[in-house]
Amino acid sequence: MTADPHAPIETAAAEPDYFDVLQQAIRELLVEKGLIEADEVRAMIETLDAHQPALGSALVARAWTDEAFKERLLADGTAAIEEFGIENYDGTKLIVLEQTPEEHNLVVCTLCSCYPRPVLGLPPDWYKSRPYRARAVREPRVLLKEFGTDVPEDVTIRVHDSNANMRYLVLPMRPAGTDGMTERELAGLVTRDTMIGVTTPRLP
């Protein structure tokens, strides 16, 4: 029986890190000082919960089936998601990266956990963990293999570091043999992890 490739990352993220503790302390202090209301915090959490990876999956499926939309998405991700009906509530710039046979893109945030929340919702714990953030930069090919993604040596891996003003979303390659699938069926092949770049879409 093989070990779960996610286990080291999940284990490392079991306890909150420095940034988790810091953001919670700041939030509680702001509420205590009356600068924000607990209801405002609750409303933001509800907004985050309403944005799920399914939004991103539908976005990718549209790009796979509509070449003109794909071009707009790659040219200006922020404008394209708003055109698609996704509220860019955090005001950040979204850059969409296209996977190709020659280039594999991987997204990370080395400083904390900046993430395209309007499109993907809340980030998984392992994305915020120190091991993932460090290894994505130091040994991306090895890290990807642990997720079951074996990137050939002749394919360039590009690691993209998100920040407070700019977020990245990966547009994965459409799997072969999907020509007869509907847009909704295609969306079912697209997972959160494929839009971060740690895995690739696969047929059921």
Q: Is 109 annotated as a binding residue?
A: yes
Q: Is 57 annotated as a binding residue?
A: no
Closest CA to 74 of 89, 88, 64: 64
129 is known as an active-site residue: no
109 is known as an active-site residue: yes
Residue that is written with structure tokens 């839009």 in the block: 195
Q: Is 129 annotated as a binding residue?
A: no
**DSSP string across 124-150:** PHHHHSHHHHHHHHH-HHHHHHHTT--
Strands 166-171 and 103-108: unpaired
Active-site hit among 57, 109, 129, 162? 109
Length, in residues, of the chain: 204
Residues 114/119/122/128 CA torsion (nearest 10 deg): -30
Cα–Cα distance, 75 to 118 (Å, whole number): 18
Phi/psi of residue 181, each to 5°? Answer: -85, 145
* DSSP at 198: S
162 is known as an active-site residue: no
Please enumerate, by residue number, every residue annotated as part of a binding site.
109, 112-114
Please enumerate, by residue number, every residue annotated as part of a binding site for Fe(3+).
109, 112-114
Active site positions, annotated = 109, 112-114
